[in-house]
Structure 1
Amino acid sequence: MTLLIRPATPADFPAVARFTVDAYREDGQLAGDHGYDKKLADVETRAEAGVLLVAVDESGQVLGSVTFVLPGTEYAELSGPGEAEFRMLAVDPAAQGRGAGEALVRACLERATALGCQAVVICVRSFSEPAKRLYARLGFVRVPERDWSPFPGVDLEALRLPLTG
């Protein structure tokens, strides 16, 4: 299957909001009363604060999305000088296993490299084994001293991938 990675357009926002919330809910990441589903669904704000990329199949269907950010921006959580970060990577549960997640990560790595970043950092839920396997396969390593928790019971593990020009 051929995937196109491109910046999202406002026409993509409703689909991105729907499948992002669905994917996070299905993965168990929305348990508890922290309101993260509303932040995930606010696609317009994410698109304004960073670069919202989508993975699109041959038919034009949007299969996944990710928000790419730089340090000091509204959605940056971990990134420091010389680092980029991506957030809210999600693939429509009906389209998982087709390579959209990996293609979106690779697009973020390419973007960070083109911007001259030295590394990319991300957070992953402590229990999210499929995500951790993907990131490990791509070379991300755990940086436990940067782990953190935005809410009680939400434990985030920090991962980092050094980039080579």
Structure 2
Amino acid sequence: MDIDIRTALPAEFGALGDLTARAYLDDGLLDFGESDAYLHELRDVAKRAAAAEVLVAVDGERVLGGVTFVPGPGPMADIARPGEAEIRMLAVGRAGRGRGTGEALVRACVERARGTGGRTAVVLSTQSTMHAAHRIYARLGFVRTPERDWSPLPETADITLLTYQLTL
């Protein structure tokens, strides 16, 4: 079956939020499991959609994955500078894995960035253990930008997010 990528509908926010949280939990990407504060952010698709564009991958009516496309600096941007778009919270559920869902979502973000006036690059942050995502980024021409790596937590926490950039 075909995978369609489009803007998430409000009726899909709950399913996408649950899928995103479950993907991060199942992949061991949240240090504190169900009590991780970031889990609330992952589930709050409505908040993301109010400040950025949330894309969803669907097979018929089934939500397979999603991503947040941030067209530039603003409330949803972590690292985007002027002229840069940002990709955030890429997640693919089990039913969408191995089908090109993640790559299709990233490609859709790149195309949106190209269609947004004045964008010269797409940037993103990722955890070091997100190997499948790293392969997608490399395949699509993203390069590591270690000088922009950062930690979302206080210095007492041992987490560094790796950064990537695609020059448009």
TM-score interval, normalised by the smaller of the two chains: over 0.9
User: Which amino acid in structure 1 is aligned with residue 82 of structure 2?
Assistant: P
- After superposition, the CA RMSD in angstroms is 1.2
CA distance in 2, matches of 1:153, 1:49: 29
Number of residue pairs the alignment of both structures matches: 162
Q: Determine whether 1:39 maps to 2:41.
A: yes
Deviation of the 1:93 alpha carbon: 2.1
Deviation of the 1:112 alpha carbon: 0.2
Q: TM-score w.r.t. structure 1 length?
A: 0.93
What SS does the aligned partner of 2:17 have?
helix
Superposition pairs for residues 2-151 of structure 1, below 5 Å? 2-32=2-32, 34-57=36-59, 59-116=60-117, 117-151=119-153
Deviation of the 1:19 alpha carbon: 0.6
Q: Select the residue among 153, 161, 168 that pairs with 1:156.
A: 161
Deviation of the 1:34 alpha carbon: 4.3
Alpha-carbon contact 2:84-2:121 (below 8 Å) kept: yes
User: Which amino acid in structure 1 is aligned with residue 62 of structure 2?
Assistant: Q
Percent sequence identity is: 52
User: Which amino acid in structure 2 is aligned with residue 162 of structure 1?
Assistant: T
Q: TM-score w.r.t. structure 2 length?
A: 0.92
* Moved segments of 4+, more than 4 Å: none
Deviation of the 1:94 alpha carbon: 2.9
Unaligned ranges ≥5, structure 2: none
CA distance in 2, matches of 1:154, 1:113: 31
Unaligned ranges ≥5, structure 1: none
Q: Which has the higher strand share?
A: 1
User: Which amino acid in structure 1 is aligned with residue 120 of structure 2?
Assistant: Q
